[in-house]
Amino acid sequence: MAGYGSFGFLEGNRNLYFVKPTANLEPTGIEPDVPRNLNLSSYPFDAEAIKRDFPILRERVNGRPLVWLDNAATTQKPQSVIDRLKYFYEHENSNVHRAAHELAARATDAYESAREKVRRFVNASSTREIIFVRGATEGINLIAQSWGRRNIQKDDEIVITWLEHHANIVPWQMLCSEKGAKLRVAPVDDSGQVLLDEYEKLLGPKTRLVSITQVSNALGVITPAEKMIEIAHRYGATVLLDGAQSVSHMRVDVQALDCDFFVFSGHKVFGPTGIGVVYGKPEVLEYMPPWQGGGNMIQDVTFEKTSYQEPPQRFEAGTGNIADAVGLSAAIDYLDRVGMYNISKHEHELLVKATSELACIPGLHIIGTAKEKAGVLSFVLDGFRTEEVGDYLNQNGIAVRSGHHCAQPILRRFGLESTVRASLALYNTNEDIDRLVAAIWNLRLGRTSIS
């Protein structure tokens, strides 16, 4: 297949090519006696062993073992995350920061420890740059309502790309409508990759913000984010990078990327739902007003005037999602233990295998064939509606997503209203891919189920 030569998300831009894995490349498994506090990126990797850490993957659906290939929608949770949430509610549950009793101290320590864990995870320079929100969508809206309302004026321009999730389109449309600003959209080529020359032509003295995804949720395309950020800064623009689909697949370094904002959701990275993160450069956050008012974000309140906390507390009004922040911390611990390099390499090998084997099915068309991709396969099958394919796979215990994936503009760029999306994670195995491919072959050939 043309367009699948390399995957630049691996550390050091190491390229892997479409080759059939040989025996000596197969992982042999993480040794059970390896200390759990070590980063295991240098240890062998066994997806079957990893899979056993996720209790929901022992479920059966329609009488068959569950194959979870809907990871771009949400990821499953390892037992360590489930246990950490249980422990918090059994031993630490309290509101944070304000009380003088023991449980408040435990909860505060756990919550702020989670903030430090996130700081290290994205390589921010300080915990003051880490804001807890409900998810990437709320994070983008926070930036739009706080930074955007202060900095976007009439006739200013905001630049996004065709690849964006609706959450990185709609808030900017709303802001542009309110302020009289203009939304401009960078095009993509027929593989789904951003056309850098055309992107740069959109930038100019009126460009105030560039807001782009690092990985397309609908196609899996990895954008040249570092280059796009560098170009945007040359024109004086502030840059938001949407990392909702990148953090589970690749190591993220916000300082190396040099983005002004970075957002992601905990549930996309094996943590709980209802927790997310906004990273912001301190010199940007310092001049942003709060977007919600209430407890926890104030220094002093009188009936005449209120003074606010410094970031990040300024943007965390009310009681935060304490338990789920702690759960996210446990998810990051789990990823550190497995090693992001191991995960990237494993997912890449699965993506190569799935791409090559699905491409052999008559009438199956992969949408998004850019050279740089993360673990997402979006496709259509001639003669079948996408919901038919999704339902057939579900009958065989295979969970995929059928629909527009909250990314209608990019699908319409390819003349489609929906695709079937199979998306990968660290616990997926060669057997999962074999079952997916066999099921689609059976559907193609008119069989009722996998033999």
Alpha-carbon dihedral sign for residues 83, 376, 124, 267: negative
Distances (CA, A) of 390 to 35, 70, 440: 41, 11, 10
Q: Is residue 3 part of a domain?
A: no
Check whether 4 has a pLDDT greater than 60: no
Residue 184 lies in a domain: yes
Number of domains within the chain: 2
- Please report where in the chains the tokens 């009793």 appear, as a residue: 101
Residues taking part in catalysis = 406
Residue 349 lies in a domain: yes
Distance CA 71, CA 75 (A): 5
State the pLDDT at residue 16: 27
The answer as to whether 186 is a domain residue is yes
Indicate if 32 and 136 belong to the same structural domain.
no
Claim to verify: residue 188 and residue 153 sit in the same structural domain: yes
Listed residues 302, 335, 368: the one ending a domain: 335
Write down the mean pLDDT value for the chain.
Answer: 91
Confidence of residue 144 (pLDDT cuts 50, 70, 90): very high
Residue 372, H or E segment = none
Could you give phi then psi for residue 419, rounded to 5 degrees?
A: -140, 170
5, part of any domain:
no
Q: Return the H-helix or E-strand segment holding 377.
A: strand 376-381
In whole angstroms, what is the distance from residue 33 CA to residue 35 CA?
6
Residue 229 lies in a domain: yes
Dist CA 133 CA 140 (whole Å):
10
User: Helix-strand-coil percent breakdown of the chain, rounded to 5?
Assistant: 40, 15, 45
Looking up residue 15, the CATH number of its domain turns out to be 3.90.1150.10
CA dist., res. 194 & res. 126, Å (int):
32
pLDDT more than 90, % of the chain: 87
Same domain, 100 and 199: yes
* Contact predicate 241/261, CB 8 Å: yes
Question: Looking at residue 42, what is its pLDDT?
Answer: 53
- Can you tell me which residue has the tokens 């929901």? 56
Same domain for 278 and 204: yes
Cα–Cα distance measured from residue 276 to residue 138, given in angstroms and rounded to the nearest whole number: 8
Distance CA(163)–CA(172), nearest Å, equals: 15
**Cβ neighbours around 31 below 10 Å, total:** 11
Give SS3 for 345: helix
Helix (H) or strand (E) run with residue 413 in it: helix 408-413
Q: Are residues 228 and 367 in the same domain?
A: no
pLDDT tens digit string along 377-435? 999 999 999 999 999 999 999 999 999 999 999 999 999 999 999 999 999 999 999 99
Q: pLDDT-based confidence at 44, cuts 50/70/90? A: confident
Same domain, 280 and 406: no
- Same domain? For 262 and 364 the reply is no
For residue 54, the enclosing domain spans: 11-77+339-445
SS3 call for 263: strand
pLDDT at 13 over 70: no
Domain presence at residue 1? no
One domain, residues 175 and 209: yes
Query: 303, 335, 367 — which closes off a domain?
Result: 335
Identify whether residues 121 and 215 lie together within a single domain: yes
What does the alpha-carbon distance between residue 18 and residue 195 come to, in Å, rounded to a whole number?
24
253 and 124 in a single domain? The answer is yes
Is there a domain that residue 138 lies in? yes
Domain end among 335, 367, 387? 335
Model pLDDT for residues 93-132, shown as the tens digit of each residue: 999 987 789 999 999 999 999 999 999 999 999 999 999 9
Statement to judge: residues 242 and 366 lie in one domain? no
pTM (predicted TM-score): 0.90
Higher pLDDT, 209 or 97: 209
Lowest mean pLDDT among 26-30, 118-122, 128-132, 276-280: 26-30
CATH of the domain at 238: 3.40.640.10
Instruction: Say whether both 164 and 247 belong to one domain.
Output: yes
d(CA 88, CA 206): 48
Pairing relation of β-strands 398-399 and 67-68? parallel
